[in-house]
Amino acid sequence: MFFVNYPFHNDGSGKEHLFMEFARAKGYSEKLSEVVLRGMTKREKEGALMYGGKFGYDKIREDRRNAEKCSLFPKPHPIEFPTIKEIFLLRLQGESLQSIREHLKRKGLTNKNGNTPLKASIGHYLKDEFYYGVQVIKKGKENERRIDYRELTAPDGSVFISIVTEEEFQRCQQIGRGEIPRKKKTKRQHPLSGLIQTVEGYPLYPAERPVRRTGGREMQLGYECQDKRSNQPRIKAEIVFEAIEEILKNLFLTEKEYDQFVIGQRRFIEKKRSDRKYKKKAVTEMIHKAERALEDLEVSKATLSRQGEFDADSKAIHEKKKAKFKQTLITHREEEKAINQKHDDDLKTFTNFLELSINAHQYWALANNDQKRRISEILLLNLIVDGKEVQSMTLKKPFDRWLKGDKIQNGGHART
């Protein structure tokens, strides 16, 4: 083996010199690793973010013209910092990773490249201790190092701005492990769900489709038949809503109907009051039960401490049970607060009742989808449609007597 400085011949002397060079190279490599690690450790203690960047943070530069002379102290990134802040805020509210990503997408919160963080990335950020101020390097290994940025100051005098406190970070971990229940995703309910049928008798279900508008794309509500045998696969929701608005124009009530309404309303109010009273009693009992459970838990802790058996495992179990009981107590107290709120149980006067009946079609037109859903559940039994218009409506009592228009037949299949 011939090199510029030295040849290694295939004999005993050449092999000896070759192995000596390998040993020197190994020694140089090991020494260089120690020197570099010592230098990095020294910089870390000064607050330098040595191992790459962190989502949501940038690094302070002392000399923009010379990148080698910089403090590398982490500072908030103008684009990513609001995004990571929103991620932890939503997690503390009990949101899932998927709902957090959807929320970021709706609000336009992205990374510096303009992309919404992936669900896996969001889960990784939520487990990183750096976001409450502690950088862990080589976690779980013999040479693990921890840098607490909360105790450090940059050369320019700036301090570390954390995303959450340590207590909030630990709460996020409990939510991730399922120790604290996540926020349940409420299923969106559309009006007239389960009330619409085709002329052939096939049911139609609410379905939204994107449509082009002047200002961009938006979702349009309609009702679709999933049975392929039907010849009326879809009808727009606005057509159905307009038909209901038309029939509500025929709602003109007298004092006779008002008297019937008052009788029913009195029964309804009494039932609501009875239900609230029963629910309040049940919630109060659950609050007392949770308070007693917390007291018993503290007594158990004191007993174990006196006996010298309150070790790390017992402490972990104790804290887990304590957090569970506290969360239960908070939930029940919120329920109690909602029950104790002022309720409007007053009977409507005849003037109010008459005004509501005359303007019922206008209230329907201005109602949102949730209000339309509740009104339709009170008003309608079913609707028959043919894909282009409403053929008929079947009304519930007493509206089948109160609403008698010529356009919509109750239960028949006449054309509108």
C-alpha span between 328 and 206 (Å, rounded)? 36
Q: Is residue 380 part of a domain?
A: no
Q: Which of 51-55, 169-173, 317-321 is the most confident on average?
A: 169-173
Q: Is residue 322 part of a domain?
A: yes
Give the mean model confidence (pLDDT) for residues 350-378.
Answer: 81
377-408, pLDDT tens digit by residue?
Answer: 878 878 888 877 888 888 887 777 776 544 44
Domain final residue pick, 152, 177, 202: 177
Q: Is residue 159 part of a domain?
A: yes
* Confidence bin at 412 (pLDDT 50/70/90): very low
Q: Is residue 224 part of a domain?
A: no
* Confidence bin at 270 (pLDDT 50/70/90): confident
* Confidence bin at 67 (pLDDT 50/70/90): low
Helix (H/G/I), strand (E/B), else coil: 384: strand
Domain final residue pick, 177, 195, 224: 177
**How many independent structural domains does the chain possess?**
2
Over the chain, what is the mean pLDDT? Answer: 81
What count of other Cβ atoms lies within 10 Å of the Cβ of residue 220?
14
Give the CATH number for residue 92.
Answer: 3.90.1750
Residues 61 and 168 in one domain: yes
C-alpha span between 273 and 265 (Å, rounded)? 12
Q: Is residue 184 part of a domain?
A: no
* Confidence bin at 168 (pLDDT 50/70/90): very high
Domain final residue pick, 312, 340, 368: 340
Q: Is residue 17 part of a domain?
A: no
113-129, pLDDT tens digit by residue?
Answer: 889 999 999 999 999 99
What integer pLDDT is reported at residue 57 of this predicted model? 92
Percent of the chain with pLDDT over 70: 89
Residues 165 and 271 in one domain: no
Residues 70 and 170 in one domain: yes
Residues 270 and 159 in one domain: no
Q: Which residues contact 239 (CB under 8 A, 6 or more apart)?
A: 388, 389, 390
Residues 168 and 275 in one domain: no
The residue ranking higher by pLDDT, 412 or 215, is: 215
Instruction: Please give the structure tokens belonging to residue 341.
Output: 């709120």
239-262, pLDDT tens digit by residue?
Answer: 888 888 888 887 777 777 777 777
Percent of the chain with pLDDT over 90: 13
CA angle 30, 35, 39 (to 5 degrees): 145
Q: Is residue 154 part of a domain?
A: yes
What integer pLDDT is reported at residue 91 of this predicted model? 92
Q: Is residue 357 part of a domain?
A: no
Res 296 pLDDT > 50: yes
Name the least confident of 71-75, 230-234, 275-279, 380-384.
230-234
Give the mean model confidence (pLDDT) for residues 150-179.
Answer: 87
C-alpha span between 387 and 231 (Å, rounded)? 8
* Confidence bin at 62 (pLDDT 50/70/90): low
320-360, pLDDT tens digit by residue?
Answer: 888 888 888 888 888 888 888 766 566 667 677 777 778 88
What integer pLDDT is reported at residue 346 of this predicted model? 62
Give the mean model confidence (pLDDT) for residues 128-149.
Answer: 85
What integer pLDDT is reported at residue 388 of this predicted model? 79
The residue ranking higher by pLDDT, 414 or 266, is: 266
Res 411 pLDDT > 60: no
What integer pLDDT is reported at residue 409 of this predicted model? 45
* Confidence bin at 89 (pLDDT 50/70/90): very high
CA angle 353, 358, 360 (to 5 degrees): 90
Residues 173 and 65 in one domain: yes
Residues 66 and 161 in one domain: yes
CA distances 165 to 92, 94, 129, 206, Å, are 12, 17, 10, 44
Whether the pTM exceeds 0.75: the reply is no
Residues 155 and 65 in one domain: yes
Domain encompassing residue 307: 255-340
Q: Which residues contact 232 (CB under 8 A, 6 or more apart)?
A: 198, 199, 200, 225, 385, 386, 387, 388
C-alpha span between 229 and 123 (Å, rounded)? 45
Residues 76 and 173 in one domain: yes
